[in-house]
Structure 1
Amino acid sequence: MLSLTKVLLGFGLVFQTNAFVLQFRNPTTCCSLLGAEFQGDTEPKVFSNTPLHASEYESLSTYWTPAARLNATCIFTPTDAQDVSRAVRLFTRKNCQFAIRSGGHSYNPGWAGITNGVLVSLSKLNTISYDPETGHANVGAGNRWTDVYGALLQHNVTVLGGRNSDLGVGGYLTGGGISYYANDRGWATDNIFSVEIVLADGNIITANRNEHKELFRCIKGGSNNYGVITKFVLETVDASKPFNAFAIGYSAAANPEYLSQAYDYCTGGSDADPKSHIIFAASISKAAGFANGLLVSYSDVFDTANPAPVLSPFFDGTIPGMTAMGPLSANGTIKIATDLLSFVQAPGTRYAMGTFSVYADAALFQTMRDIWEEETTTQLKDRPGFMTEFAFQPIGWKWLAASAARGGNSFGITKPLVMVWVQPRWDLASDDDIMVAYTDRVRIRCEQAAQAVGKFAKFRHLNYGGRNQRNEIIPSFGAANVLRMQVNKVRYDPLNVFGRLVPGGFKIPGF
């Protein structure tokens, strides 16, 4: 419980923090200072876009979607928490702007990148180990999930991580993280046992449910607002049983049956068998037209001819017009499934994203898809490389109970809901603004439709937030959680270093 004294103190300091404004240091000067700080190290750690470091700079500048790429003044590659500490102290002291990147899978330019400033690339913080006595995995924040899964499966365990194995560990976990095990274990962020984090003053601390426990809770959904997390200790899941994942397509003619079964799963199926996990999606492109689809997984032995009861309607013909069924992993491993999905969702394509949530309602599902189809005009379909996806996924009672059992998070979800997102992709940079505007139109109209029938849920998932939702994401967590985040922000970052000097990302209101 937050005391009134802490609340008043917090707001007083927020006002002081926002009044603390200095002119940012010239980014070229900052890069020179950083280079001098690490000049004596055995290997280079600061790379500028110069002939001497051109190849290193280019390889470190890659992002999953080119729509999110920005060219930093220089790129810093720390190899341990002490390196990060020295750099953050310098940035704070010299008023240098910077960005933090784990895997660079954000859809939004500036969220894991920067133009006039230093990019801190965590890619060399890539240690992975498993402790069989505690059952915990120690994972460097710069890892990608493909490497984490590969290392841990040798011990017949895994962790709650990305469904696309190319995702970076740090941003995924601090934003929430939806995993194939979510119906059984909650958000991936709920399965963090502890973090090693570098604070604004350069101090390196460990936060968990006992030490710095309020900060620890705020980190779960707090993104880049409190410090640079350099290592996660994660709870593990038994992976001795097979893992299954399938991508299934249905024709547009199957809409009524498809949406009916989707509604049933959203209102009970995910709780009936938490080994199951489904994303319901549809796509539109000029070449393929309209198609229904789903990504379904099952974390146990699975037979498509005799599936688990909760998944039977998606395999047995209850939904007519199945057009494809592709196994990502048939009685295999989570690494096989997530690696194949990362291949299908190949890097190098331009993407945008927008998200919101609703309470399950069959008629509303159809209304929202009608809005999406209406906004997907012929002019958009004619754009080079255009395809659009409209997807939704339930959060059920067991997901929420698993989150609560592990100490809770910042999200403020109190009853089941359905997350919704729209995601276009395209080829040309000249179409970026058009696609972002399209994403926003679909999202806003769908939100209005949900509000009109009393089915709008305030929550918006941070990892799926669009660039124009900057002021919507964290406020959607609810007043009590926002207040907790504000109070702990003042306590752990009183000069608002990770608000002022780290311009990208979804920020805590007031910072």
Structure 2
Amino acid sequence: MMLSGDSTAGKHRGTFRGVAETLISKPEMGAQYQEHIAESLSKQGLKVLRPNEDDYAARQNSYWCNIAKELTPALIVCPTSAEQVSIVIKALAESDQAFAIRSGGHAPFSGVNNIEGGVTIDLSRLTWVRFDPETETVDLGPGGLWSDVYNTLAKHGRVVSGGRDGTVGVGGLIMGGGYSFFMARRGFACDDVVEFEVVLADGSIVTATAHDREDLYKVLKGGSNNFGIVTNIRMNVFKCQNVWGGLNFFTEQTTPGAIEALVDFTKNCHNEEDSHLLFFFTYIALLKQLILSIAYVQVAGIERAPAYNKFLSLTPFKDTTKLTTVAAVVSEYDIAPSGFYNTFYTVSVKNDTQIITEASKLHGQLPLKRHFSRQSANAGGNILGIENQPVDGLLLVLVVMVSTREQDAFARSKTEEYAGKLTAFASTFEHGILPWVYMNYADRSQKVLQSYGEDNVKKMKEVAVKYDPDGVFQRLCPGGFKLADVKDWELHDVCHLE
């Protein structure tokens, strides 16, 4: 079926309610139009991949999660610059064609970074890492991977507040906020961004900083793909030679002491800003065994820092801790390899021993300190809204990785069931459940943007209308967490949850 280029969005120009009302499921691109747009973009110098080509298959197979590989876009377009992204977005907006945006391809559910029958804009050729010693900043292409960023910066004795898994893409992590090893000292990864280069819906290429288009700058720090396509991210860098880190592995019997240590660490981590950890329970189906693992990263390079004393008093059956580098750490922490169907689900809870004991059946836990929001504010603020949390908490994430689509459906239902039971238990405590939902760990069913708070959602909607009055990124880019899906009644229900 050939699609008409007659968009209805102009009839609702300038009102977000109108944009939301026109959100539709776009039909697949007809073969005749597919060839037309492919030839047009190719003539303008873009690399365009069709389903019968080897490079198309290679890009499809390079997704981290199997669910993304099952979607078959009519075209994959691989720009090399902001100017080429501008050409693509103008062509798609003018012809009312649906599209997806891919940076590293690391999303856990369908439709975020790939699309059935539409156009996938693949940013995998935007991978530069350009260090500027005069400004102590680095320009990053959104399609790069964090492992390459760290390895390049290590040559200059520098690091950046980036991802903790080297296989994750730069753009996706930043646009979702981004937990990093430097969280307690510097805030979210997005808080170290000093400038975004963005291609807007009309194809214009703009920059957004704390002093120029500051409204756009702020909402891009956690607002995902609702405003434009980010084509360059300039971040602060800082000196960091060695870190102390690695993994300790424990048997299930260590759980009570480890939970006590985790709660204590979370209470005091604002006093130990260089000490970071991740806390995992992993069920190994083959062995029918639950393993507790703790990942340490002490970014000042202090071996066995006092912040970890309660953990270090426990006896691991394996210890990989050593003086190392951030680049080596992210290589070692390959805890979620590619080639599986993945279910992620996240819950934020009060930092309480009883709740964490109940939650110990979940997979991983991270401190969620209100202190982090103060670090964010010092860096110009973001749109995430964790300053609204009434108490310090822990961010829990359940990750299930299976081999088949049938197992995935079963795993998803069990994940939601378990998260519901945990929520019910934690809700019996004052402030036991915290409303904030971390986008990069969330399931598609979760109310991520709503959890940022009513004022922040209102601000995001205003910015979306200002920079995308025809609602291109709401109507034509359906993947991920969309402002057009946020209902006013949800804001009251989610944002006032205690």
TM-score > 0.5 by shorter chain: yes
Equivalent position of 1:211 in the other structure: 212
Distance 2:110 2:26 in 1: 20
Structure 1 portions without partners, runs of 5+:
1-9, 373-388
Equivalent position of 1:390 in the other structure: 363
Which runs of structure 2 are paired with 1:473-488 in the superposition (5 Å)? 473-488=448-463
The normalised TM-score by structure 2 is 0.90
Q: State the SS of the aligned residue for 1:506.
A: coil
Equivalent position of 1:325 in the other structure: 319
Q: State the SS of the aligned residue for 2:356.
A: helix
Question: Which has the larger displacement, 200-209 or 146-155?
Answer: 146-155
Identity of counterpart residues, as a percentage?
A: 26
Q: Any conservation in 1 of the 2:176–2:222 contact (CA below 8 Å)?
A: yes
Equivalent position of 1:65 in the other structure: 65
Amino acid corresponding to residue 406 of structure 2 in structure 1: S
Quick check: 1:410 aligned with 2:402? no
Equivalent position of 2:336 in the other structure: 345
Deviations 1:229-287 (A, max 9, x none): 00000011212x3122211111111121111111101111x112111111111122331
Distance 1:509 1:97 in 2: 15
Shift of 1:22: 7.8
| CA distance 1:13–1:283, shift in 2 (3 Å) | same
Shift of 1:163: 0.7
Q: Any conservation in 2 of the 1:140–1:230 contact (CA below 8 Å)?
A: yes
Q: Any conservation in 1 of the 2:201–2:473 contact (CA below 8 Å)?
A: yes
Which runs of structure 2 are paired with 1:207-246 in the superposition (5 Å)? 207-239=208-240, 241-246=241-246
Distance 2:219 2:32 in 1: 34
Distance 2:305 2:80 in 1: 46
Shift of 1:457: 0.5
Equivalent position of 1:308 in the other structure: 305
Shift of 1:21: 6.3
| CA distance 1:30–1:506, shift in 2 (3 Å) | farther
Q: State the SS of the aligned residue for 1:60.
A: helix
Distance 1:93 1:430 in 2: 39
Distance 2:485 2:163 in 1: 31
Amino acid corresponding to residue 49 of structure 2 in structure 1: F
Equivalent position of 1:489 in the other structure: 464
Q: Any conservation in 1 of the 2:200–2:468 contact (CA below 8 Å)?
A: yes
Distance 2:363 2:236 in 1: 32
| CA distance 1:288–1:248, shift in 2 (3 Å) | farther
Equivalent position of 1:358 in the other structure: 349
Equivalent position of 1:103 in the other structure: 104
1:498 corresponds, among 473, 476, 497, to 473
Distance 1:57 1:445 in 2: 43
The normalised TM-score by structure 1 is 0.87
Equivalent position of 2:35 in the other structure: 32
Which runs of structure 2 are paired with 1:175-214 in the superposition (5 Å)? 175-214=176-215
Deviations 1:126-156 (A, max 9, x none): 1221111111101111111111111111111
Question: Which has the larger displacement, 144-153 or 74-83?
Answer: 144-153
Distance 2:249 2:411 in 1: 25
Distance 2:35 2:63 in 1: 25
Amino acid corresponding to residue 34 of structure 1 in structure 2: I
Deviations 1:301-332 (A, max 9, x none): 343xxx211112222xx32x4222124xx322
Q: Any conservation in 1 of the 2:272–2:307 contact (CA below 8 Å)?
A: yes
Q: State the SS of the aligned residue for 1:130.
A: strand
Amino acid corresponding to residue 441 of structure 1 in structure 2: E
Equivalent position of 1:377 in the other structure: none
Distance 2:288 2:25 in 1: 52
Equivalent position of 1:47 in the other structure: 49
Structure 2 portions without partners, runs of 5+:
1-11, 487-498
Which runs of structure 2 are paired with 1:105-144 in the superposition (5 Å)? 105-144=106-145
Deviations 1:340-389 (A, max 9, x none): 223x53221222100120121111111223xx4xxxxxxxxxxxxxxxx5
Shift of 1:436: 1.1
Amino acid corresponding to residue 60 of structure 1 in structure 2: R
Distance 1:399 1:210 in 2: 23
Equivalent position of 1:379 in the other structure: none
Equivalent position of 2:444 in the other structure: 467
Q: Any conservation in 1 of the 2:19–2:475 contact (CA below 8 Å)?
A: no
Amino acid corresponding to residue 313 of structure 1 in structure 2: K
Distance 1:222 1:360 in 2: 26
Equivalent position of 1:92 in the other structure: 93
Amino acid corresponding to residue 327 of structure 2 in structure 1: K
Which runs of structure 2 are paired with 1:158-169 in the superposition (5 Å)? 158-169=159-170
Amino acid corresponding to residue 367 of structure 1 in structure 2: E
Distance 1:394 1:175 in 2: 17
Distance 1:124 1:354 in 2: 30
Q: Any conservation in 2 of the 1:184–1:275 contact (CA below 8 Å)?
A: yes
Amino acid corresponding to residue 496 of structure 1 in structure 2: G
| CA distance 1:57–1:452, shift in 2 (3 Å) | same
Equivalent position of 2:157 in the other structure: 156
Distance 2:75 2:380 in 1: 39
Q: State the SS of the aligned residue for 1:296.
A: strand
Distance 1:221 1:21 in 2: 22
Distance 1:22 1:429 in 2: 27
Q: Any conservation in 2 of the 1:246–1:297 contact (CA below 8 Å)?
A: yes
Distance 2:425 2:480 in 1: 28
Equivalent position of 2:6 in the other structure: none
Shift of 1:20: 4.3
Distance 2:410 2:126 in 1: 37
2:358 corresponds, among 336, 355, 367, to 367
Quick check: 1:421 aligned with 2:397? yes
Shift of 1:41: 4.8
Distance 1:29 1:173 in 2: 37
Q: Any conservation in 1 of the 2:14–2:465 contact (CA below 8 Å)?
A: no
| CA distance 1:20–1:352, shift in 2 (3 Å) | closer
Q: State the SS of the aligned residue for 1:113.
A: coil
RMSD in angstroms over aligned alpha carbons? Answer: 1.9
Q: State the SS of the aligned residue for 1:279.
A: strand
Equivalent position of 1:4 in the other structure: none
Q: State the SS of the aligned residue for 2:15.
A: helix
Q: Any conservation in 2 of the 1:23–1:95 contact (CA below 8 Å)?
A: no
